[in-house]
Amino acid sequence: MPAPTRSSTTRTALLTAAESLLLTDGYEQVSARAICAAAGANPAAVHYHFGSKDALVVALLEDRMEPRWADLLNRFDPASAQVVDLVDLILEPFATIGSEPVGQLHLRLLARFVAAHPDAEWTRPWFRLDQWSQVLAQIVEGLDVDDARRRWGLAFGLILDQCAGDSPPSPTATAALRDFVVAGLSTPARSAPAPEKS
């Protein structure tokens, strides 16, 4: 394994500093300059390594949360999936993450960041609605990708709202959430309403 470069070391230090600050102070209170100072880096390091504070937070969330999904996603076969399989791909890791104090803080950061930055540019496929929407459109007969995207937007909002609270949902609440989201995503596509007559 090659030795880490100075650039990769600085990047890692920025992610670690950002994580510490964001989990204690919240996104709005933490500046790129404060992250650089906490990392012992040049004041412009966030912009050099990530381009913006938003992009740094995207990288942080992807870096910390993707490993929780990696095994499930590697075994996932969209061709044979059902809607319940998609929902379980999200809820099972969220339940595990939410049961850990740092994981719960990551979920809260994710929920706040997604709510405030709906158009954030995620770089890893399964963090983007398009990936989930394409699979859902293949599973639900007659559902187009745009409608699938709208459904996922609502579903993810609800899931994050329920899983990123002050305490993780109970097993009963998680089961109810699962059933509700599966039902909403599985509903057959409706034809477009007929135009109103004038």
Domain boundaries, the chain: 1-51, 64-186
Q: Which CATH number fits domain 1-51: 1.10.10, 1.10.3470, 2.40.50, 1.50.10?
A: 1.10.10
Residues 6 or more apart whose CB falls under 8 angstroms from that of 146 comprise: 133
Please give the single-letter amino acid code of residue 81: A
Q: Quick: pLDDT tens for 110-168.
A: 998 988 888 888 988 888 888 899 999 999 999 999 999 999 999 999 999 999 888 88
Q: Is a pLDDT exceeding 60 seen at residue 6?
A: yes
Q: Is a pLDDT exceeding 60 seen at residue 198?
A: no
- Packing angle, helices 83-98 and 53-75, rounded to 10: 120
Tokens at residue 84, please? 């319940």
Q: pTM here?
A: 0.81
Q: Quick: pLDDT tens for 83-120.
A: 999 999 999 888 888 888 888 888 988 998 988 888 88
